[in-house]
């Protein structure tokens, strides 16, 4: 059953964050992820979310965890987490 990772965050240091964008796509591709949403101008309709929203689709929760925990992603994750504030969620498809 498909699984989704949803990230919503606010970039706090654009220059330090920028290298993440050049590297993350390769790690996603290697793990069969599909980028469904990548919006850097998200519009708040409830609460106080960040301006960046990303939704990734994986074949399963195990596949999503495989990407997130992979050495190649762990090598670059700090480029995002050290230079932004926000949340990440892993959810399974209904069904």
- The ranges assigned to domains in the chain are 3-92
Return the SS3 of 45: coil
3-92 fold:
Alpha-Beta Plaits (3.30.70)
- State the virtual CA torsion across 46, 49, 55, 58 in degrees, nearest 10: -100
Q: Where does residue 73 fall: left (phi above 0), alpha (psi -120 to 50 degrees), or beta otherwise?
A: alpha
pLDDT digits (tens, 9 = 90+) for 68-82: 999 999 999 999 999
pLDDT digits (tens, 9 = 90+) for 24-67: 999 999 999 999 999 999 999 999 999 999 999 999 999 999 99
Q: What is the pTM of this model?
A: 0.94
């Amino acid at each position: 059953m498909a699984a989704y990772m949803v990230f919503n965050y606010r970039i706090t240091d654009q220059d330090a964050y920028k290298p993440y964008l050049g590297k993350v796509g390769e790690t996603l591709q290697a793990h069969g992820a599909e980028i469904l949403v990548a919006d850097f101008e998200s519009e708040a309709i409830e609460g106080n979310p960040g301006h960046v929203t990303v939704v990734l689709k994986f074949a399963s929760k195990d596949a999503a965890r495989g990407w997130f925990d992979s050495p190649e992603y762990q090598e670059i994750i700090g480029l995002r987490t050290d230079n932004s504030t926000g949340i990440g969620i892993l959810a399974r498809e209904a069904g």
